[in-house]
Amino acid sequence: MEESPIEITLAVQLTLTIDPTEQYPLAVISEVLTKQNITSILVEALVECLNERLVENFCGEKHAYGNGTERFQRSATCTRSAVTTAGEHTFTLDYVEDTAASEDEQSHFRPVEKLIQFDGKRRYQEDISVKVADLATTLSYRDAASAGDGFEKTPSPDTIRRRVKEYGQKLSAFVSDHVSATEADTVIPDGTKCHSQDDDRSQHEVQITLAEDDDGGSRSVLDVSVNADWNTIAGDLDEQDAITDDA
């Protein structure tokens, strides 16, 4: 049976006090509204509205007659914090108990998580993690720090370093699956150094290896690594048959 789309209407009230004897530049009004974190508020409101709608689908409206005999019962309410490019969020979400669940089945669950996917138990979600990882690997340390100031909340340097390694490994694995036996004739390796927050290392080296087609019209990523040995990278690419012997 095909389920119908869920429609959500959000009503957000914003109060501003404006002196009618003054004239305000449009840029000032824009900045004031930006500082209200409206996007962050909308994200929280949307997720919590979906939470309530989905809980009602399982358990019925709050305090409705006969709810106590239903299979699904409202259970605990808890908060879930998260950080996205829209800002820092705190969601109030509900658990539902499946009273008919067997011993080997999960009896408590949050319905909203069937619709909204959080990045595991991580606080920083993938949108902001991917963007700061991209900044860290494509810009200088100074430029990356400056660009990161545009985010409402920025991960710590250690978190960024972990995500760069994680995404680099995922990208390398993805590329390995899709470029195996392509045997690139022209390979372009390059790297850049980033300041390190680790006590035993002053800098991290980010290494990227590209394959270039014969006419130089396009390039594709073969490998992304952090603090790896170039000989190891070359050996891995050779084992994957991603490059020719004389590349």
Give me the mean pLDDT over the 61-75 stretch: 85
Q: What is the largest CA-CA distance in the chain?
A: 77
Average pLDDT, the chain: 84
Q: What is the pLDDT of residues 95-133, one digit of tens each?
A: 999 998 888 888 999 999 999 999 988 999 998 888 888
Range from 98-102, 144-148, 185-189 carrying the lowest mean pLDDT: 144-148
Q: What is the pLDDT of residues 199-227, one digit of tens each?
A: 888 888 889 988 887 666 677 888 888 88
Provide the pLDDT for residue 182. Answer: 61
| Closest to 123 in 3D by CA, of 88, 147, 152, 163 | 88
| Confidence (pLDDT) at 78 | 92
Q: Which pLDDT score, from 0 to 100, does residue 152 have?
A: 65
150 pLDDT band, cuts 50/70/90, is low
Q: Where are the alpha helices (DSSP H) in 1-140?
A: 26-34, 38-59, 126-138
Mean pLDDT within 81-86: 91
Cβ atoms within 10 Å, residue 184:
21
pLDDT band, residue 27 (cuts 50/70/90) = very high
What does the pLDDT read at residue 176? Answer: 62
Mean pLDDT of 132-150: 72
